[in-house]
Amino acid sequence: MVVMALSVKELRIRRILDLYGDSLYRLACSYLKNEADAQEVVQDTVIQLLRYDPEFAGDAKKEKGWLMKTAANLSRNRLRSLNAHPSEELNEAFAAAKSSDLKFVWEAVAALPVKYREVIHLYYQEGYSTKELADLLGRKEATIRSDLYRAREELKTILKESYDFE
C-alpha cells in the first residue's frame, strides 16, 4: 500500500478549499464574471490566509468571514485593474457558459452595479445578515439595508425589461 505523506500546509489548503472553496469562488465569480480570474482570487485569498495566519480560536464563522472579506477585496482590486485594462475575456458573459433554467437570475444579478451585486450575493447566496454584511463590507448597517432595497428595485427593472417578468 502506498502511503502519501501530506504536509501540514497541504492539508490546511485542502481543508480551506473543501470548506470554503465554492463560496469564495462564487463570490469572486459574482464580481469578475470570469472563471480564470475567480480561480486566481481564490488562490490569492488562501495565500493571504497562510501568510498572515490570523487567529480564529476555532471559530469557523470568523474564519469564513475573514476569507470572504479578503476575497471581496481582492476581487474589487482585480475588477479595478481589469476595468483599467479591459480584456476580451472579461467581456464574455460568464453566465452564458453555464447551462441552467435559472441562468437568467444569475445574469440579472450580474448586470447590477458592483456595490449592489455584492450585497445581493452575500445576502441571498451566503445568508449573511445586514449586520454581518455591514462588518464584512465596511459600511453602515443602514447603508447595507438601503443598498439591498435599491438592488432589489433594480433587479425588478432588469427582470421586467430583459426577461419580460411582471
Partner 1 sequence: MNKYQQANEQIRLSEQQKEAILNEIMSTETAPAGKSLPGFYRWAGIFAGALAVVLLMVLPGRMKPSASSNSTMNETMAMEEAADSETDMGMPAESVREGSEIAASGTYDAKALAADLHCSVPDFEHYPGAKTVEYTRTSETTGTIYVATEQNEFVVLIETLADPAAEEQETTAAAKADDETYEVLYEDETVRFSLFANNDMSETEREELKGFLNK
* 91 contacts 105 by C-beta, under 8 angstroms: no
Select the residue interacting with partner 1 from 90, 93, 124, 150 (CB under 8 A): 124
User: Cell triple for residue 45?
Assistant: 485569498
Task: Give the phi and the psi of residue 124 in degrees, each rounded to 5.
Answer: -85, -35
Q: Which is nearer to partner 1, 1 or 126 (CB)?
A: 126
Kind and range of the H or E run holding 122? none
Please state the closest distance from residue 28 (CB atom) to partner 1, in A: 10
* 136 contacts 72 by C-beta, under 8 angstroms: yes
Q: Does 51 bind partner 1 (CB under 8 A)?
A: yes
Q: Which is nearer to partner 1, 50 or 142 (CB)?
A: 50
Query: What sign for the dihedral angle of Cα 21, 24, 25, 26?
Result: positive
What distances in angstroms separate CA 20 from CA 8, 12, 16, 75, 115, one per listed residue?
18, 12, 6, 16, 22
Select the residue interacting with partner 1 from 72, 111, 133, 158 (CB under 8 A): 72
> Mask: binding to partner 1, 3-32, rule CB under 8 A, as x and -?
------xx--xx--xx--xx--xx--x---
Residues of this chain that interact with partner 1 (CB under 8 A) are 9-10, 13-14, 17-18, 21-22, 25-26, 29, 39, 42-43, 46-48, 50-54, 66, 69-70, 72-74, 76-77, 98-100, 102-103, 105-106, 109, 120-121, 124-125, 137-139
